[in-house]
Structure formats: C-alpha cells, structure tokens
Amino acid sequence: MYNDVIMAGFGGQGIMSIGNLLAYAAILEDKNVTFLPSYGVEMRGGTANCSVVIDERPVGSPIVGRPMSLIIMNRPSLIKFEPRMKPGGVVILNKTLVSVDVSERDDIDLFALDLNALAEESAGNVRLANMVALGAYVQKSGVVAVESVSAALQDALNPKYHKMIPANKKAIEAGAAAVS
C-alpha cells in the first residue's frame, strides 16, 4: 500500500526527527521507504520539511509532488503545502500555532489538535508536540502500526536521548488516542 506524507514546520520543532522515526518504523515492518529532508538556511527557526514515502513495492522516487498527507506544525507550512495536497488526504494540524481558518480546503480530513497541550498533558514536555502529531498521523493513516513507531524509537533516537523514550511513547500514544 503506497503512502506519502510531507511533514513541515520551523526548525527546532522536531520535523526531521519524526520523519526519520516514521522511516525506521516502516523498516521494522519490512516496507520500502524513502526519507528526504529539506532545511532552510537558518539552523533554528528557519523552515524545515521532509517527505516520507512508504510502499510494499520498491519506491521509485523520494520526491512528493502532490502529497496524500501532511503534518503541519506552523502557518507558513500550511500555506505552502495544503494547495498541493491530493483530495481526501489527511492533515494533522498544530492548532496551537495555526488557526483552522487558514485552511482553504474542504475536500481533506483535517485534524486540528492542540499538540502542545497534548504533549504537556501526556508526557510533561511541550517539546514532544512532534511525537503527538506523528502518533495522530499514524493512527489516522494506518501506514504503520503505532506500536512500530514506539519500537523504532530505540534505533531512530540518538542514544543520549534514550532516557526520553518513555515520554516519547506517551506522546505518540496521546496523539493516536486524540484522533481515535
């Protein structure tokens, strides 16, 4: 089953981390995957986005022109990527930073979540809003199992952050529960 997603936000919001984590989860499920990061010129606060393509068959290209799904963490990313999206796709929107009114599409499944609040409530850390978003996306899309994402944390995270794995798992589960 082919699936692609563009994840986008400001640098420092953990966009590359969740893209990489999703790719590792797909590998755990013996799926073919590409992960293509794209950074702005600034380190923190600049633009950051990545695309992940997952399929049972070999993936021909990591380039996603018209995404099936989006994880959007900030307003500029919604404005940039939403018009390119295929009808019927899934959008996980960080309503902490983006008003739902900015969306101009009525042919997509938009899930506007207060990701910061969910991260704080579930894991005690607003910096895990990215993990909440990933959990919500995985639950809605079914591209991989939520359990596979949690299992992939060991490989995807730098060992110096392994002490944060339990909190990351809680945030992922909170995102999945928020859209169930």
Spatial distance between the Cα atoms of 109 and 161, rounded to a whole number of angstroms: 33
Q: Which of 82, 98, 85, 72 is nearest to 8 (CA)?
A: 72
CATH of residue 48's domain is 3.40.920.10
**Total domains, the chain:** 1
Tens of pLDDT, residue by residue over 89-146, are 999 999 999 999 999 999 999 999 999 999 999 999 999 999 999 999 999 999 999 9
d(CA 174, CA 114): 11
What is d(CA 13, CA 128) in angstroms, rounded to the nearest whole number?
Answer: 9
Res 40 pLDDT > 80: no
User: Token match 């859209």: residue?
Assistant: 179
Residue 117 is part of which domain span? 3-178
Q: Which helix (H) or strand (E) holds 85?
A: none
The predicted model scores a pTM of 0.95
